[in-house]
Structure 1
Amino acid sequence: MSTTSAPAVGSAQFGVVGLGVMGQNLALNVSDHGQVVSVWNLEADWVTKFLTQHSDRKMTGSGDLKEFVQSLARPRRILMMIMAGNPVDQMLDKLAPLLEPGDIVIDGGNSFFKDTQRREAAYRTKNLNFFGMGVSGGEEGARFGPSLMPGGDEASYEHLKPTLEAIAAKTDYGACVTYVGPNGAGHFVKMVHNGIEYGDMQLIAEAYDLLRKALGLGAKEIAAIFEEWNKGKLESYLIEITSHVLQVDDPETGKPLVDMILDKAGQKGTGKWTQQIALDLAVPIPTIGAALDARVLSSMKDERVAASKKLGAPSRQYSGDKKEFINAVQDALYASKVCSYAQGMSLIRAGSKEWNWNVNLREMARIWTGGCIIRARLLADIMHAFDRDANVANLLVESEFTSRVLESEKNWRSVVQTAAGLGIPTPAFSSSLAYFDSYRSMQLPQNLTQAQRDFFGAHTYQRADRPDAGFVHTDWIKLVKK
């Protein structure tokens, strides 16, 4: 039974620090699987309230951090679900003197992976184990089965594996958790997951925008289309909830609730980190970048309203066959999603190489098939693609995806052209198509870029007829004068 009195030493098998919604739900999830859970929160009354609400469970806790730590069996396993940033460092500093060699602390928040690397190194000097673990699935996932991305010491993971596999989401491909790699690998993969999520959500928003502006469809009509799409190749959690969102009416006005929501999207930072690291690692992720830009532009509401009065807008009437256009948008959405996932997987591979993590891309696709926000039928296809060729350079050149994207190309290109003609912004669709066209281009115009750089800055270039001969410089002004 739950107790708020001083818990017995070593009486609990798993500890949770932080009783916000995610922390509470994960504690209950662990408890569901037969483990005694001990909890702690900065506000001690939260502990009392939580244990009182769940007095029928084998849980314990304390408002005293030392008592909380002592309540855990060795090696201690403590999951922190607290705000990222300084609070994590402060909590780790408080815990360290109370722990013993071999104990394990997990940060389950959305921390920046380089902070995780620093924290893991600091704990290692104390013979303590620190894990950075991505947790995806929101409140429901935390309660009933999230996708988990733990990174830390591989040997210590064996002490976490039974619990994490028990609480993770389950699919036909197993528990949605795996050992990702050392130090910051788990939080890096979660960061990229969120970047893909940004791209996915923007692509869906653009599909919705095309259907309402080009075809003049209402929210419920679009909901029916998304519901149908969710039965095929686009089947996913985000497509499913989009259909549900579009069916809800506003209790105040009776209009579709989505139409009453201000078009200003927020962001919490992981998408921005993804873009920044991609630039550092020289990995192009234009679909994800376009999604970030779209959110930033959406935040400029007043400026956009003023601009619309000055600049106007072209006609937005589509004169073609509606059914054909709906099918074309479906194909464009699918092909663009493949590009977004291809970019994300390429970034994970680059990060793994840079920091020697040895991340298994097939496993990343597998653990995302359930529990997480981007779970989709597409991820099972990606998993099988890596089964066929674990070292494929890019998903676009994997045989199955090559054929599927090429089958979608005509409609994809038609949708982007139509959107441009009607003045409907589709930055993620357009960026995805440009990525596809650029990636498959044998010749790009950067020969001219290199010539310009060499002209004004003597940055040198390689000759196309003998690229292995090294870099050369041309005195362009002298040659032009001739």
Structure 2
Amino acid sequence: MESNPPAPSATIGLTGLAVMGRNLARNIARHGHAIAVHNRTTARTTSLLEEHGDEGADSGGRLIGTESLEEFVAAIEKPRVVLVMVKAGEGTDAVIDDLVPLLEEGDIVVDCGNAHFTDTIRRTEQLEAHGLHFVGTGVSGGEEGALNGPSIMVGGSDRAYERLGPIMESIAAHVDGEPCCAHVGEGGAGHFVKMVHNGIEYADMQLIAESYDLLRSVAGLEPAAIADVFEEWNKGELESFLIQMTADVLRHTDAGGHPFVDVVQDAAEQKGTGRWTVQSALDLGVPITGIAEATFARSLSGHTAQRAAARTMFSTSPDEQRVEVDRDTFVDQVRAALYASKVVAYAQGFDQVAAGAEEHGWDVDLGQVAKIWRDGCIIRARFLGRITEAYTDEPDLTTLLTTPFFAEAVQDGVDAWREVVATAARAGVPVPAFGSSLSYFDGLRRERLPAALIQALRDNFGAHTYQRVDRPGTFHTAWAGDLSESEQ
């Protein structure tokens, strides 16, 4: 292990060498940067150097191993850039507390974990008091993306990005020569955008899972045949990383020759970003119904005791819920419903980013966000290019659903969408993401909603007042009295 360098020799440093940190460090070295690496337990540092000590040699980059945090900080050129890749929450706070006394004014601390954006805002203020820059950065793409080119959403100050940006842009995925990396806004903007990205990811995966369930439970296709369907879908407008991955998973068998999907426990876990997305949307008043239902669907899957009790009480024979469909027609209907629902999920996600930016005073370019999601990240998909075009043409776009391209896509698929949701209901197949996305679409386009009755009820039991459609002002009816109406 190279240690005690005579002078600062690293362009950047990274502490936290679990799989993501390890791969990101290797990626940085590969792109010609000298990077100091550190881990609380030196065994991981030693292991990284033993296995990949020559990483970046061809491009002029290198990994510089350090043992103590003091040695690590001393190895980085000023103003120092320190990437933190540790567990979100208390783990991140502990590392920051240890780092701050060793840093100098103008140094930059970059949190590349899945931190809650409110923690990032707090840490930004905390480090500003010490003359330091704190940068919350979303890194998407998993282990493979970290190594070969992720999508990177950088928050923090403009000045910090001047130092950090060129390095991050060099290691990001690239599309048409453009890096999938951008400074999306100050403060907690980077982690906020990454949070919403993960929320869209929840919805995307739930919709894919519901499609699989319908093709198997209603159309009667086996996993290998469904893999062929997804493979075909990936050649069209549904082309995306997750669609291709679904085909790969469904085609896989275990050592005993069983479909892999049949031997995996059907209780999906989550690390919190979906829940944070829903909580934030509630605070902002943004209806992200598809994302919320996808998050609740994961929660339901984990309530195994309740599910077992319900199966005992409400079990039915397969014939009671059998629905006859034309297989080829139904497969195409599911494809159309999946595409329309995905459009709704992305539209809701971008609505939330816009609302969050307005709430916190971040100057977030939604077209740029779509552009950096075109590769490297989990939700990369063909139609993100169309989203970029939509926000480039109309930066203040009210909703993606009203742009000609997406409006046509949804309109063309709406009949199939309705048929799929209705068929699922008759067959007893749960489709919370499909159903809620369709209801959202219908709610948006409806001239009058039953919320008028809700407003009247609120005024009746709580004197919460209401507005009228025929004249301005706020009103209250004396429901317990003479029913007279008064302007408030």
Report if TM-score (shorter chain) is over 0.5: yes
SS at match of 1:265: coil
What's the counterpart of residue 382 of structure 1?
Answer: 387
Q: Give the Å deviation of 1:78.
A: 0.9
SS at match of 1:476: coil
The correspondence of residues 81-100 of structure 1 with structure 2, limited to 5 A, is 81-100=85-104
**Alignment check: 8 A CA contact 1:164 1:177 kept:** yes
* Unaligned 5+ runs, structure 1: none
2:197 pairs with 179, 193, 201, which one? 193
1:177 pairs with 176, 181, 184, which one? 181
The correspondence of residues 246-395 of structure 1 with structure 2, limited to 5 A, is 246-251=250-255, 253-313=256-316, 315-395=320-400
Deviations 1:374-398 (A, max 9, x none): 0001211111111221111011111
Mapped to 2, the partners of 1:177 and 1:5 lie a distance apart of 32
1:451 pairs with 443, 451, 456, which one? 456
1:460 pairs with 451, 462, 465, which one? 465
Mapped to 1, the partners of 2:11 and 2:300 lie a distance apart of 48
Q: Give the Å deviation of 1:9.
A: 2.3
Q: Give the Å deviation of 1:97.
A: 1.2
Q: Give the Å deviation of 1:405.
A: 0.6
Q: Give the Å deviation of 1:62.
A: 1.3
The correspondence of residues 95-106 of structure 1 with structure 2, limited to 5 A, is 95-106=99-110
SS at match of 2:202: helix
Mapped to 1, the partners of 2:445 and 2:465 lie a distance apart of 26
Q: Give the Å deviation of 1:318.
A: 3.1
Verify: 1:206 aligned to 2:204, yes or no. Answer: no
Deviations 1:338-382 (A, max 9, x none): 000000000000000000001000011000000000000121111
What's the counterpart of residue 471 of structure 1?
Answer: 474
1:133 pairs with 127, 131, 137, which one? 137
The residue type equivalent to 1:202 in the other structure is Q
Verify: 1:55 aligned to 2:32, yes or no. Answer: no
What's the counterpart of residue 78 of structure 2?
Answer: 74
**Alignment check: 8 A CA contact 1:4 1:48 kept:** no
The residue type equivalent to 2:408 in the other structure is S
**Higher mean displacement: 119-128 or 315-324:** 315-324
Deviations 1:176-234 (A, max 9, x none): 00001001000000000000000000000000000000011100000000000000010
The residue type equivalent to 2:329 in the other structure is E
SS at match of 2:287: coil
1:235 pairs with 220, 229, 239, which one? 239
* Unaligned 5+ runs, structure 2: 56-61
**Alignment check: 8 A CA contact 2:219 2:325 kept:** no
Deviations 1:276-318 (A, max 9, x none): 0100000000000110111111011232122122112473433
**Alignment check: 8 A CA contact 2:140 2:377 kept:** yes
Query: Aligned residue pairs: how many?
Result: 476
1:406 pairs with 402, 411, 416, which one? 411
Q: Give the Å deviation of 1:336.
A: 0.2
Q: CA RMSD in A?
A: 1.3
**Alignment check: 8 A CA contact 1:157 1:179 kept:** yes
Deviations 1:60-91 (A, max 9, x none): 12111111101011111111100000111111
Q: Give the Å deviation of 1:480.
A: 6.8
SS at match of 1:391: coil
The residue type equivalent to 2:283 in the other structure is D
**Alignment check: 8 A CA contact 2:293 2:433 kept:** yes
Q: Give the Å deviation of 1:334.
A: 0.3
Mapped to 2, the partners of 1:352 and 1:291 lie a distance apart of 24
State the TM-score, normalizing by the size of structure 1. Answer: 0.97
What's the counterpart of residue 19 of structure 1?
Answer: 17
Mapped to 1, the partners of 2:154 and 2:424 lie a distance apart of 41
**Higher mean displacement: 305-314 or 258-267:** 305-314
Mapped to 2, the partners of 1:8 and 1:295 lie a distance apart of 53
Between the aligned residues of both structures, percent identity stands at 50
SS at match of 1:274: helix
Verify: 1:160 aligned to 2:164, yes or no. Answer: yes
The residue type equivalent to 1:364 in the other structure is V
Mapped to 2, the partners of 1:153 and 1:65 lie a distance apart of 25
Mapped to 2, the partners of 1:59 and 1:418 lie a distance apart of 57
What's the counterpart of residue 142 of structure 1?
Answer: 146
SS at match of 2:184: coil
The residue type equivalent to 2:14 in the other structure is V
Verify: 1:224 aligned to 2:228, yes or no. Answer: yes
SS at match of 1:473: strand
